[in-house]
Structure 1
Amino acid sequence: MTDDRRPLIALLVVSAIANIGTRVSAIAIPWFVLTGTGSATATGLVAAFELLPYVLVKALGGPVVDRIGQRKVSLGADLASALVIGAVPALHLLGLLSFPVLLALVAVGGGLRGPGDNAKHTSVPLVAEVAGVPLERVTGLFGAIERGSGLVAPGVAAAMIALVDAPGAIAVTAGCFALSAMVVAVFLPTSFDRSGPGTECPETAGGYLARLRAGFSFLLGDRLLLMLVLMIAVTNLIDVAKTTVLLPVWAQRGGHGVGSISLMLTCMAGFSMVSSLLASWLGPRLPRRLTYFGCFLIAGPAPFVVLGLGWPVWSIALVYCVAGFASGFLNPLLGAIFYERIPRPLLGRVSGLSDATAWAGMPFGGLVGAGLIALVGLSPTFLLLAGGYLLATMIPGLLSAHLFDPPGPAPAAPADQDVSASTAGGSASRPRASA
């Protein structure tokens, strides 16, 4: 069969639209609340009302993605998100948007985005298979889009808020969801849906709880995946502690100003985007274990160490550039490992549970950072978290390094045997249990 790259290109476009739209709303909605109420507490409450349903529904919605299919879930979630998010500026214009109504809308929007994001993420190995492109190359392209969105979205959000105010920027976000749904409907193949005749298989059979339990069992039964998920949960918590508490305190106490924080994060994101593009080209040829150990050693502890040692701002910025470059190779590598080890019928469940677990500690990162500063001071906190980062990332690599290698090709099946369910997940010869 001729390789078809149209679904891959379409999903890349959808990913860019969704990432930019989501990041714009993450700026526009809090700004809308803060300027409207003057309350930092209300602003934080809105963020919590969006994040909690997002994590919960992403974890619990995996069986729905696996049962219905990535295309239908993504299409339905995007259309519903366009209506829900679009209701915020519409009700505001009509004078009907009370704060409880806003909380309800952002909670529903967060709940819809969970399975929608899950469906898009788990479409990656499907479009790679249809296109005949190595997974590392595809995950590198998606990593570059994610990093690039992080670079351009703040400027886009600021420009739109200046031009059409925050409600107008929120309306544009709703338009992004509608556009994403249109691209999904037109360009993603219906073969990504599994609700038609002949698509039932043992992994998608049974009730909701049985299917959710199958996802848990698969994740718990794969040592490498479980260790990587727990590692990402720890490093996410540490990264949130640095971004939300440690960097602002460092900038304030050192007299560096808020511009220094923007400089560090821009250096990290920009160089990470460049290396993600390189990973999409070189990924299949990179040695996985060496890439994992080397890049995590540079990208993880190094920025914490130089901040803790009190290096000058210009030298810390250089370290952030190098760390960002190293980090861009990691997500494509980890993504390829996850997609290789998870069979297609379980993609939604295992991916949703993995992502929810990886996010579980993030709400507590700021509290951990503030608590450590109060206990031992700022510089020791940077160094302690550098050690924690090193330990968390090296343990999976040391204990499961042999599992990093790509699986071998599946053995040939007899000509009269139906293998559509068992081989749909990829090239591994057995069922396989983000970051």
Structure 2
Amino acid sequence: MRWRGLTGVLSSQACTLSANRLLTVAVPWLVLDRTGSAAQTGLVVACQVLPYAFTQWLAGPLLDRVGPRRISMAGDVSSAFVLIIPAVFGTPPLWLLTLMLVVVGCADGPASAAKRMLVPFAAADAGQSTTRGVGLATAVERTATAAGTALAGWLVATLGGDRALWAAAAMLGAATVIVTLTVSDPVRDRGRDDRTYLDRLRTGTAFLRRSRPLRALTAMFVVTNLLDQALMAVLLPVWARAGGYGATVVGLALSTVGLASIASALASAGFGARLPRRATYLIGVLSSGPTRIVVLALGLPPQVVIAVYALAGIGSGLFNPLLETVQVELIPAPLRGRVQTLISAWAWAGIPVGGLLGAALLNAGGLDTALWICGLAYLVAVLRPAWRMDWSAPKPPGEPVRLPPLGRNRLTRMLRERPSPPNRVEHRHPLRPRADRKAVAARR
């Protein structure tokens, strides 16, 4: 029974993430098949992605006040209800499909943040460390990304885009049932900042602004997500096309990253708590970040590129659970919903303009120059938190504090400076209480 909550959270995450990956393939294919316009396809997809990050931030105070379990259930059931509209009313027009995806994005953002918030609480209830719980959640996310995308391709090819939406609705409904039956809410915040919604929102913003380690991590997330989007959307396809490799090499490299990250995330769940944190972070980010860009700039053959991307997947599965664990440790539990959703919103801020940045660098200096600039910027971004943060793990409660050893001269000086006790010693009868002098004088 101890693992019931953690198993339920991970299972609901698997259902929700698989549904999301299914939508990322089915919706563009459905719009493109109906309209034949790439511009309209991009607009419809953006209508789902943009509300996802914005509503996460707005839902932060509600997560702390109402509880993540209820937010997760409400978001998943709302998305499932919207996606079954084609099953009831037939194929929707384009405007209705766009409105459906806006609602799905608004509901899915808070629901995903709620499940992320439930992981450390469920891991603690199961008697497991936060590192193990987050490592398992990362492995579930990477597995759902690979399996959901493959399932989406099969469903769209065999049943069509409309039926794929039904499958996504069924997965979201299953996630709602799992959370309802297996997960319980953590203790909610009853602090003095409960007066208004805006007060709670400002409290989370102020905490992030005052925390130097969290500011360093947030800045790193913004820059790396921006550069990752520039690489995936523009630079990597252009490199493959310029070298005559085609889309097969790109797909193989990306799938290699996903498979390797699943294995390393499971390894992190097993023994990640025993690894030195700063070294794990540096090895992980350096192998999974700048190397993916530099290997393209060096013009190495595709076999080497795929091998480097496999190492990048291993590094990604190691350091991502570590960063999630550090955030859980740095943010107090009553503020976790507000602060984590704000960090996620900032991390997503650079994604919409990442493709534009890659295209601008490509037009300004060519492919090699763009790759070297992105690789150098990535290196600077990931090295900054390494020396601006204290990576030591917090001491468990009840552990005695170890003081540094004192030298002989310092110990002697401390003993000399200690005030001596008074010389006069008052002797009292062992059975007779000391009489009050004022009372004795009054009786006289």
TM-score (norm 1): 0.89
Task: Tell whether 2:118 aligns with 1:123.
Answer: yes
Q: How does 1:9-408 map to 2 (within 5 A)?
A: 9-91=7-89, 93=90, 97-189=92-184, 191-192=185-186, 194=188, 200-203=190-193, 205-400=194-389, 403-408=390-395
1:409 to partner: Cα distance? 3.1
Q: Secondary structure at the match of 1:310?
A: coil
1:89 to partner: Cα distance? 4.5
Q: Give CA deviations for 1:270-309 in whole Å, capped at 9, x if unaligned.
A: 1111100100001110100000112111111111111001
1:410 to partner: Cα distance? 4.3
Identity of counterpart residues, as a percentage?
37
1:411 to partner: Cα distance? 6.3
Q: Secondary structure at the match of 2:396?
A: coil
2:5 corresponds in structure 1 to: 7
Distance 1:146 1:301 in 2: 23
Distance 1:172 1:322 in 2: 34
TM-score (norm 2): 0.88
Answer whether contact 1:305 1:382 (CA < 8 A) is retained. yes
1:192 to partner: Cα distance? 3.0
1:317 to partner: Cα distance? 0.6
Letter in 1 for 2:192: P
1:161 to partner: Cα distance? 1.2
Letter in 1 for 2:15: I
Looking at CA atoms only, which structure, 1 or 2, has the larger radius of gyration?
2
Answer whether contact 2:216 2:388 (CA < 8 A) is retained. no
Distance 2:396 2:295 in 1: 44
1:409 corresponds in structure 2 to: 396
Letter in 2 for 1:316: V
RMSD: 1.4
Answer whether contact 1:88 1:105 (CA < 8 A) is retained. no
Unpaired stretches in structure 1, ≥5 consecutive residues? 413-435
Letter in 2 for 1:408: K
Letter in 1 for 2:391: F
Unpaired stretches in structure 2, ≥5 consecutive residues? 400-444
Q: Secondary structure at the match of 1:102?
A: helix
Q: Give CA deviations for 1:19-41 in whole Å, capped at 9, x if unaligned.
A: 11110011111111110111111
Distance 1:79 1:152 in 2: 22
2:411 corresponds in structure 1 to: none
